[in-house]
Chain A
Amino acid sequence: MKPPPFEYHAPTSVNEVCALLGSLDDPKILAGGQSLIPLLNFRLARPRHLVDINRVEGLDRIYERDGGIAVQALVRQSVIEDSELVARVCPLLSDAVRLVAHRVIRNRGTVCGSIAHADPASELPAVLLALGGSVVAHSARSQRVIPAGELFAGMFETSLEPQELLAEAWFPAFAGKHAIFEESRRHGDFALAGVVRADKELALFGVASTPVLADPHDPTRGLEPSGDIEASPEFRLHLVKVLTERAFAA
């Protein structure tokens, strides 16, 4: 269980990152590494080039802008967990990040990394979707904003281009009724199914190839979750109904 060979790059500026992403053949960005390094160890991922962004200066800020909160690419999940600013402006994000794996993983894992990785069972993409947030993507030639609704393209797939860096995620300020509930076999495991409520909005995770918005009055309509050793499709649908009721009872 060792990573396959790759060429290692450790740029120190966003411009340098973008130049590398634009010129290298088959690059992969390494941020917190809490999903990517297991994939390398399992050899499920074999990128030719790893672009480690951990040495980039000025990419670890949380700040307020445009009526919300911006989280840059190197902000660790544990920093969000401890942030008074996040707790005040977007408490749903504070609640959600505590459900991401374990503190030891969150000490290294990043918010933007979770979003770019786009695991359909992970919490933060669903939070971004429920709140109607967005991400900022940088490349050597341009900078663009991608709304959450246009970001998640499939299982572990986003609409980011290979030469783009997800430099920042933006979550709108939200003080309304909110909840995040999930069911997992053990604390810190990936959710069998989960729901995020932001006032009247409902986003589901773990039950489709991407996080999905759903109707709170009929949350399982159109859903066809997969089954595995831990949960059947029927059980996942049952969980969605129960968790949605719980989220809207609050």
Chain B
Amino acid sequence: MRVNGVAHPPPQDPRRLLSDHLRHDLGLTGTHVGCEHGVCGCCTVLLDGAAVRSCLMLAVQAEGHEVTTVEGLARDDGPLHAVQQAFHECHGLQCGFCTPGFVMSVVGLLAQHPNPTAQEIEEGIAGNLCRCTGYASIRRAVARAAELSAQ
């Protein structure tokens, strides 16, 4: 599988969840693990460009596919990705635990709806739980991300 553009061998143990493989085997700890049953959205990554839950996939299933984690959105020495920049500008986070999952879900959302309506924004982030901000600033961040992406 390729993760953020780099080829990696699959794990030996088929039980290994993609989320654990990314964190423990590849050291990509930006992908967070919350509930491990697909409810919280913290572990969201892109699989061939579409947002998926990495805790609901076996790592061996990603063999032959392209995985993008939050670390793969922007280069270390480059500007932030539009979605990251928008969350920063709009203060779309407090503790930050849920943020990588939100960011990856929103990248997927904007690929599907480049100019999302208010309802599309609400539905697009409904699968991610945040226990700090109350979502208002996150909604603003998504709208801002759409603006930045269009520029």
How far, in angstroms, from A101 to B127 measured CA to CA in the complex? Answer: 8
How far, in angstroms, from A33 to B126 measured CA to CA in the complex? Answer: 20
Does A249 reach chain B (CB closer than 8 Å)?
A: no
B123 & A187 in contact (Cβ 8 Å cutoff): yes
Q: Which of B20, B108, B122 contacts A104 (CB 8 A)?
A: B108
- Chain A residue numbers with a CB within 8 Å of B44 are 104
Does B41 reach chain A (CB closer than 8 Å)?
A: yes
How far, in angstroms, from A3 to B53 measured CA to CA in the complex? Answer: 15
B4-42 CB contact bits vs A (8 Å, 1 = yes)? 000000000011010010000000000000001110010
How many A-B pairs have beta carbons closer than 8 Å: the answer is 86
Does A38 reach chain B (CB closer than 8 Å)?
A: yes
Q: In chain B, what residue has the closest Cβ to A34?
A: B56
CB contact list, B52-68 vs A, under 8 A? 52-53, 55-58, 60-61
Is the interface on chain A under 10, 10 to 19, 20 to 34, or 35 or more residues? 20 to 34
A3 & B52 in contact (Cβ 8 Å cutoff): no
- Chain B residue numbers with a CB within 8 Å of A41 are 17, 36-37, 55
Does B51 reach chain A (CB closer than 8 Å)?
A: yes
Does B105 reach chain A (CB closer than 8 Å)?
A: yes
A38 & B15 in contact (Cβ 8 Å cutoff): no
Q: Specify which of B37, B58, B105 lies most central, judged by the most chain A CB atoms within 10 Å of its CB.
A: B58
Q: Specify which of B38, B60, B109 lies most central, judged by the most chain A CB atoms within 10 Å of its CB.
A: B38
How far, in angstroms, from A104 to B112 measured CA to CA in the complex? Answer: 11
A-B contact pairs, 24 of them (CB 8 A): A2-B15, A6-B15, A8-B58, A10-B60, A33-B58, A34-B38, A37-B38, A37-B56, A38-B38, A41-B37, A50-B14, A52-B58, A52-B60, A101-B127, A103-B112, A104-B51, A104-B108, A107-B51, A107-B52, A108-B47, A108-B56, A186-B126, A187-B126, A188-B127
